[in-house]
Structure 1
Amino acid sequence: MSIKHKNATYLPATHSPVARLNPKLLYILLSLIPLCVFLNSLQSGFVYDDIGVIEDNYFIRSLQNIPKIFSKDYFHLANELSYRPIVTLTYFLDYAIWRLNPSGYHLTNVILHTINCFLLYAVVLRLVRMRPVALLSAVLFSMHPCVTEAVNAISYREDILATLFIFLSCLCLILSGKKVYYALSLLSYLLSLFSKETAIVMPLFILLWWIFFVRKRHPSFHPVREGTGSFPSASQLNGRESFSPAKSRWGRDFTNYFLGYILISIFYLIIRFIVLKNPLEASVGYLQGSIAINFMTMAKILASYVKLMFLPFHLSADYTIAPVLSIFDASFITSITLLVAVGFIIFKMITTTVSLHVLYRDRMYSVFMLCFFAALLPVLNIIPIGHIMADRYLYLPVAGFCTAISGLLLRGAITQFPVNKQEKFPVYNHNILSNYAFVIPLIAVICIFFTARTVLRNRDWQNEYIFWTKILSEQPQNYDAHNNLGSYFYKQGALDRAICELEEAVRLKKNYPEGHNSLGTMYIDKGLIDKAIAEYVEAVKYKPVFPQAYYNLGNACIKKGMVDDAIKFFGKAISQGMYNPQIFNNLGSAYMKKGMMDEAVAQYQRALSVYRDFAEVHSNLGYVYTEKGDLDRAMFELKEALRLQPSHANAHNNLGAVYCQQGLWDVALDEFMKAVRFDPKNASAHKNIGMIYFTKGDKQRAREHLLQMLKYDPNYLKDAGIYAIVSELGLLKD
């Protein structure tokens, strides 16, 4: 028997056209919309943090490194500050399939986002029992412009994964009539935490639902569903239910709903901050060291997030936020006014008298809006974080917003909720459906607007140049953007333009360590070694824990012949957490220059422990073994280098040296010729070719190659034997 409100007038009803749709068509629709909206993102390359996390990350290139994810080595190997093993594991799988093809990584992000749309649809459908609301929620979520950063940036995949496991945990909790679903819910929650620590807000969602739809069902007694321990949806609360005393009910709810999640949270915190704490994780203070300024500024940012839900304009991957210094600041007053207005609306919807036939409808959507704010709690700088505002922080909150807006848009459609198992969906009447003449065009306009904004925003992530010039077009004083645009020009070989951008960056902010570090790298390529060293010194002055700057200092010292200083700086970079194979390779080469062959071998082996297929390291190991007279091991390492990289000029040159020691002069000459073919500026190979031709009596060819040697590296004249041959050939006169 249906329960109807005594004052309600019920008109002849019919089922919604959406409710009558074949579910398979809905699933196809939910698949196609996000794939179409983000189709142009598949053309993008590696941008922003993707370069360090994917392109320059040797750790993910070998599946043998996967066990290291679960050790303290994770932080310096994976280039991560927080412990997010699930995310790193997906990078391993992506590299195994796609190598360094960015389209594959972007496709993975789009697929994960599509899965989240399915999960949001399933969760809302189970809770609200209104298919049109569930469908519209998922559709709006799939195309909202504020999710573009998380979907387009491969290095921000943690937000997508954390949301995926939160949705899965909620869905399993709703289905938790069987213990296996409750266990799966807890497991999903744990996986969400190991994807991103902000997932710790998930129990707050459960608490909000419990407060507004379970605890307050009756002033003295509270509904308990018979025969199941599953978390009730709003519609289920309107059915036949037994009642139990409040204290008993609350204790049971705590055990059924919260205890498991609390224990999982405690377990995660122990792992995160005790067992696998990052020793180099730097603490960040409040804005300008003031709690008051921090509060006022974050209020402004929170209001900006609310505004972006409705008007997603001027989205940026690198916001420049001016701190609010006074309560009389216009931006603070405006922000507080907006937040108070939103809070008042939510309060009124929660506290209004509720009719049974709408079954807490407005309260339900208000709770989803509260979930929007709850999801933002970890990034509101309550515990200080590095970046106080970012679009990616909105990925999970957008789901709550879209559900609330969808419910409010379609709120006039419901006339009666299902109250028994035979009525799977609510019924609608023709008069109310006539209101769709306004609602449907409005929804269409919103969808078109969101889709257009998202497709355009995807284009901003196409490459580094478009990405950073877009930011500079809106924030000309953004020193980070100048720095990164300079790095882009450097990679393109436009050294002068790169230096111009970097000098502008450090002009805008003198105490900008990243800018000084990048500028030093540019000066290195210009041959201005002393200026480069001065910039690196400035970088570590402003940022004492800066391993990349110490690494660059070591490389600069090598170029100056200051090998002892180079070894010291390389060691400093390693002690600060730099653990990529390149630094161990360069440290090994520094030891080799000092004749410390055993120490060099040890560093090369450390490099290979991080990345087994590093051709440069195998080539250097081959050279060291050649110097030590271990020709068999030298031969093995050099052939391994050439297997990995057949065009490796130094490996060909070093292999030629091994053949020389074996008396195989013609084979050696062939390897030296390959070396200069792959690298015409290889002075060592030219020297070796010249020496072989000189030995054979072919002085003309010897003269040609020794001239090339002098052109690219005249330091070989310090060798008395080479000096004598060059003099005999009359090359010193030239």
Structure 2
Amino acid sequence: KIYLRVLIPLFLIFITYLSHGPLIFAQFNFDDYPLVIENPYLGSWQGLLPLLKTGRPMRALSLWLDYQIWGLDARGFHLTNLLFHIACVVLVYYLMRAIFKERRIALISALLFSAHPANTEAIAGVAHRKELLCLFFLLLSYLCFLKEKKRYLWIGLSIIFYFSALLSKQVALSFPFLILFSAIILEKPYPVLNSPLGKKRIAWELSPYFAIPVIAFIFSFSDFKLFARFQSADLASYKHLQIIATQLSCFPTYLRLVFFPAHLKLDYYVPEVENFFELRTFLGVLSFLASIGLLLWLVKIKSGFGFAWGWFILNLLPVMNWVPANFYIAERYLYIPLVGICLLITLSLERAGRILSFYLERRWILLGLLFLANFLLIFFVFSSHMVLFKDEIWFGIKPISAWSDNSPLVAGLFSALLVSLILLVYLFFSTKAKIAWFWDMFLSIFLIVLGYTLAVGLVNRLDYGFWALPRPDLEFLYQRYHNWLIEQGAKDSVHFTYTLPHKTNFALYTYVILFTFFGQGLLLFLYNRYAIRLARFTPRTFLSWVLSCAFFVLMSTQSYLRIQDWGWEVNLWRATVRENPHSFLGFNNLGRTYVNQRKYPEAINCFIIAHSLEPFRIEPVVNLGNTMLKLGKTEEAEHYFRWVLKMNPFIYPVRVNLGNIMLTRKEYHSAIEQYLEALRIKPDSFEASYNLAVCFFELGDLARTYLYLQRTLSIAPNHEPAKLLLKNLNQLQPSRQ
């Protein structure tokens, strides 16, 4: 139907935004700092060419464009990431529609992909936009390759998009193998195979796809120096076979992440293995070989499952450290392979629906499944919203009950049970008598309002001992939110204004009603309406629809909660150390976040834990010294800085900070020694040059003072303290003028 060509993409856009909407209010995190905030090339046209030469040109270009539009406002960068993810979801739908010729399979695959929790890292990390860009261009290239009319025009466009994908990330190397693989398994999207010269024609058309990366490697393009540019420092001290053994031991973890995406984290603890005979490695090799064997069997029987599993395997292989260049486990590596997993789940649900279609002809089984699905959907939604907004609704009020931690889940459980029972009774009678659609929609919205009201009242009863609806201080919450926006918004950005939520109770209530009650009620109405229609006309597809919606809501709820962690840096690192108590990265960065919040005791504790996890890493010791310096404890800071210099004497910031401590104590000769060492490490340091000038000025050595002041101004011509000191020096020596 023609109207579905418009409604389905719009529905996918809306539902993807609903799952990841809070992302546009997120901060910069982790890898975003060196790539965006500390990147000197983003601010001008002159920096564009050097930026493109640093690697991953498509990502670099997109970040440069973002900076020109948004400045350093993190919300603009996250909005771009969200738009690319939405585009990938829509393109997944069109690709699966083109390959399998079934709208339902394409829609369910795209829905599951849009909400899979393992995608969160790639979507929420601005630095990881390369994953989004790579998949975006790969999908465009694949769709162009499938076109038959004006074949060579579309092939040319496909090659351009493929090259763009390679410039986004090198894992796009697997694309021609994927096309060749799918041409062997599937016949629907490749009618050319029916002709006598079909296979030769596809081989000829694929030749440019194989040639482009080979040419790029021969001419040493920056992104294709596989053995040099991207080798991880953590892998440099290990033998190649040891790296492969450790990587294969992680393969079961990847399988768990795609099929059971629970306990997700930013930093995974992966102990090194010595050989292939350890139990973890043996199980990893066994699961890897079993996956390859399953793929070969699916290829032999030419099943659509083979295309889905092949997409996963072929796109995961490039990041498995056959050439040491990656972390052992990172969720962002799964962004492209997850398209195949979501298709695999969809095909499995379709097959289950066909096998069980005989039993689904009984009315009580259909209603029972609908009740169970509605209960799960409503429970996930209610409980997740209660967990998210509990601190906002009852802000500043201490609970008096031991139920406090679990009250949102209990309230969501009982309210979902009541709403599902009411809905079951209504569906029982509506299947007998035809009821107008607007009554269905009205009831769905009413039940959502009733469920939230009951859930909030029940939380109040469990935590505070009486039934009542809370009355949050909306004006105070607005002011707190407004102050947060002003603090986090970039000073040089004029593209966003701080307007939501509006400073009126009426507007805030309207916002909640429209986006929570009406939106969720509408989705509940559409879900049940379509499910009843399937039950009447095509029972074999009823089960796949019901189960896929349950999977989708479960995934989107977890993604929504995880976006909250990625949105604020302290939440991200708290979640990291909660899920992985061995995370050196998590504790060290959580400590740095606490320092920014001026929570110094908590920061010191985190740095000490990080040091205990990896005693030979200098970062936590440096951070301990900097924290002590902020607290004014110069003796403790000096102790930590000298400790760092024993481990590595070439740390420039430590030399400067140690010199500053000596300078405040008026130990000028010791300070000069540290600043000279700092200049040897970093000759263009205007800070060390100016501090040397100050030391020599205090010692009365005016000649050297003048020398280092001139050096400072040659590096930083607008350095005001140096200009002022030079002016004072000239007044002391009029003859020098």
TM-score, with structure 2 as normaliser: 0.65
Residue aligning to 1:131: 103
Offset, 1:372: 0.8
Residue aligning to 1:654: none
**Aligned equivalents of 1:535, 1:369: Cα separation in 2:** 52
Identify which of 564, 567, 583 aligns with 1:478: 583
Q: Which residue identity does 1:206 align to in structure 2?
A: I
C-alpha spacing 1:256/1:326, structure 2 compared with 1 (3 Å): closer
**Aligned equivalents of 1:168, 1:554: Cα separation in 2:** 51
* Residues 1:197 and 2:170 are matched in the alignment: yes
Residue aligning to 1:439: 544
Residue aligning to 1:672: none
Offset, 1:534: 5.5
**Aligned equivalents of 1:184, 1:627: Cα separation in 2:** 66
Offset, 1:299: 2.2
C-alpha spacing 1:135/1:283, structure 2 compared with 1 (3 Å): closer
Offset, 1:52: 2.8
**Aligned equivalents of 1:480, 1:448: Cα separation in 2:** 32
For the pair shown, the structure with the greater C-alpha radius of gyration is: 1
Identify which of 633, 638, 656 aligns with 1:554: 656
* Residues 1:403 and 2:343 are matched in the alignment: yes
**Aligned equivalents of 1:196, 1:105: Cα separation in 2:** 19
Residue aligning to 1:187: 160
- Secondary structure of the 2:335 match is helix
* Residues 1:490 and 2:490 are matched in the alignment: no
5 Å-filtered alignment, 1:250-649, equals 250=200, 252-267=201-216, 270-273=219-222, 284=233, 289-325=238-274, 329-352=278-301, 360=302, 362=303, 364-411=304-351, 433-529=538-634, 532=637, 535-536=640-641, 539=644, 549-561=651-663, 562-563=671-672, 565-573=674-682, 584-587=685-688, 589-590=690-691, 593=694, 594-596=705-707, 597-604=709-716, 617=718, 619=720, 623=724
1:653-696 Cα offsets, whole Å, 9 max, x none, are xxxxxxxx9xxxxxxxxxxxxxxxxxxxxxxxxxxxxxxxxxxx
Residue aligning to 2:510: none
Q: Which residue identity does 2:343 align to in structure 1?
A: T
**Aligned equivalents of 1:437, 1:589: Cα separation in 2:** 75
Q: Which residue identity does 2:7 align to in structure 1?
A: L
**Aligned equivalents of 1:401, 1:274: Cα separation in 2:** 28
1:464-489 Cα offsets, whole Å, 9 max, x none, are 22111112222223222111111111
Offset, 1:146: 0.8
**Aligned equivalents of 2:616, 2:166: Cα separation in 1:** 35
Residue aligning to 2:457: none
Residue aligning to 1:235: 188
- Any conservation in 1 of the 2:320–2:328 contact (CA below 8 Å)? yes
**Aligned equivalents of 2:547, 2:28: Cα separation in 1:** 37
Offset, 1:44: 2.1
- Any conservation in 1 of the 2:311–2:337 contact (CA below 8 Å)? yes
- Secondary structure of the 1:88 match is helix
Q: Which residue identity does 2:310 align to in structure 1?
A: L
- Any conservation in 1 of the 2:43–2:68 contact (CA below 8 Å)? yes
5 Å-filtered alignment, 1:112-151, equals 112-151=84-123
**Aligned equivalents of 2:317, 2:102: Cα separation in 1:** 29
Residue aligning to 1:206: 179
Which structure 2 segments of 5+ residues have no match?
A: 356-533, 664-670, 695-704
Q: Which residue identity does 2:101 align to in structure 1?
A: R
**Aligned equivalents of 1:348, 1:66: Cα separation in 2:** 49
Offset, 1:503: 1.8
**Aligned equivalents of 2:714, 2:306: Cα separation in 1:** 62
1:534-563 Cα offsets, whole Å, 9 max, x none, are 54565566678x8xx323423432442424
**Aligned equivalents of 1:125, 1:190: Cα separation in 2:** 24
- Secondary structure of the 2:567 match is coil
* Residues 1:69 and 2:55 are matched in the alignment: no
Offset, 1:197: 2.6
**Aligned equivalents of 1:285, 1:149: Cα separation in 2:** 21
* Residues 1:44 and 2:26 are matched in the alignment: yes
Q: Which residue identity does 2:97 align to in structure 1?
A: L
**Aligned equivalents of 1:274, 1:380: Cα separation in 2:** 17
Offset, 1:528: 4.8
Q: Which residue identity does 2:43 align to in structure 1?
A: R
Which structure 1 segments of 5+ residues have no match?
A: 1-18, 75-82, 214-233, 353-359, 416-428, 575-582, 606-616, 630-660, 662-718, 721-734
- Any conservation in 2 of the 1:285–1:384 contact (CA below 8 Å)? no
- Any conservation in 2 of the 1:296–1:324 contact (CA below 8 Å)? yes
Residue aligning to 1:6: none
**Aligned equivalents of 2:269, 2:722: Cα separation in 1:** 47
Q: CA RMSD in A?
A: 3.6
**Aligned equivalents of 1:240, 1:212: Cα separation in 2:** 11
- Any conservation in 1 of the 2:77–2:126 contact (CA below 8 Å)? yes
C-alpha spacing 1:280/1:400, structure 2 compared with 1 (3 Å): closer
Residue aligning to 2:5: 23
Q: Which residue identity does 1:509 align to in structure 2?
A: E
C-alpha spacing 1:185/1:522, structure 2 compared with 1 (3 Å): same
C-alpha spacing 1:132/1:489, structure 2 compared with 1 (3 Å): same
- With 558-567 and 159-168 compared, the bigger mean Cα shift is at 558-567
Residue aligning to 1:100: 72
Q: Which residue identity does 2:608 align to in structure 1?
A: E
Q: Which residue identity does 1:601 align to in structure 2?
A: L
**Aligned equivalents of 1:366, 1:38: Cα separation in 2:** 31
**Aligned equivalents of 2:292, 2:228: Cα separation in 1:** 41
Offset, 1:618: 5.6
**Aligned equivalents of 1:117, 1:531: Cα separation in 2:** 53
**Aligned equivalents of 2:229, 2:307: Cα separation in 1:** 39
- Secondary structure of the 2:196 match is strand
Offset, 1:454: 0.9
1:125-176 Cα offsets, whole Å, 9 max, x none, are 2222222222222111111111001111112111111111121222222237
Paired-residue identity, %: 23
